[in-house]
């Protein structure tokens, strides 16, 4: 029985080592997302399927601040969405091939969807190296929207309608 446990332990350690080795070789890519040339001090609009990001980049000690507002594309969303159950945004700086050089993610609290007000964002991107040539800016998101706020615990309220969408970087090994 001891040999059987030892074999399982070694198999688990080998799988863990393989996963860690592959993770070390992973690269993030955003070539499937709309991107705009990355410029300093100018407002840039990046439109994805369900969100439009109006962003300004400014230099900051040790990196670059990308801040602005995100607005939902109502024409692509179901008319009944009113509540944000889950929302996160990501900002990406990439090269001409879509390889991510820097990224950061922000998670937001649940609350009402307010399209006209927009959702503010503020990222501090710190690329390890700035490559010569053109750089590009894009964003990602993951969201779960609903037709109403969640029912109170113990409530017998009807079930809510849920809408989920995500656009973000993909990892390649």
Which three-class secondary structure state does DSSP give residue 153?
A: coil
Report pLDDT for 154.
67
Residue from 115, 106, 93 nearest 38 by CA: 93
Residues linked to residue 112 through DSSP beta bridges, in sequence order: 83
- Domain of residue 152, residue span: 29-172
User: Residue 150 pLDDT more than 80?
Assistant: yes
pLDDT, tens digit (0-9, with 9 covering 90-100), for 41-70: 889 999 999 999 999 999 988 889 999 999
pLDDT for residue 156: 62
Q: Which range among 16-25, 28-37, 57-66, 117-126 shows the weakest confidence by mean pLDDT?
A: 16-25
pLDDT at 17 over 50: no
Burial 38-63 (b: 16+ CB within 10 A, else e): beeeeebebebebbbbbbebeeeeee
d(CA 103, CA 91): 5
Which of 11 and 42 is assigned the larger pLDDT? Answer: 42
pLDDT digits (tens, 9 = 90+) for 79-111: 999 999 999 999 999 988 899 999 999 999 999
Residue 52 lies in a domain: yes
Tell me, yes or no, whether 9 lies in a domain.
no
Asked if 144 and 166 count as a contact pair (C-beta separation under 8 A), the reply is: no
Q: What is the count of structural domains for the chain?
A: 1
CATH number of the domain that 121 lies in? 2.60.40
Q: Is the pLDDT of residue 76 over 60?
A: yes
**Nearest C-alpha neighbor of 104 from the set 84, 127, 86, 132:** 127
Q: Residue 127 falls within a domain, yes or no?
A: yes
pLDDT for position 109: 95
């Amino acid at each position: 029985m001891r040999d059987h446990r030892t074999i399982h332990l070694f198999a688990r350690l080998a799988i863990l080592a393989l996963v860690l080795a592959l993770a070390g070789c992973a690269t993030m890519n955003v070539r499937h997302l709309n991107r705009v040339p990355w410029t300093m001090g100018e407002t840039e609009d990046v439109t994805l399927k369900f969100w439009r990001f109006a962003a300004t980049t400014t230099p900051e000690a040790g990196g670059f601040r990308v801040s602005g507002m995100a607005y939902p594309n109502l024409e692509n969303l179901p008319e009944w969405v009113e509540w944000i159950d889950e929302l996160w945004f990501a900002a990406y700086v990439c090269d001409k091939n879509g390889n991510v050089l820097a990224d950061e993610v922000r998670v937001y609290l649940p609350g009402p969807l307010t399209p006209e007000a927009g959702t503010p964002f503020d990222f501090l991107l710190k690329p390890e190296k700035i490559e010569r040539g053109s750089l590009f800016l894009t964003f990602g998101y993951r969201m779960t929207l609903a037709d109403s706020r969640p029912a109170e615990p113990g409530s017998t309220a009807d079930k809510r309608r849920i809408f989920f969408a995500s656009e973000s970087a993909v990892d390649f090994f």
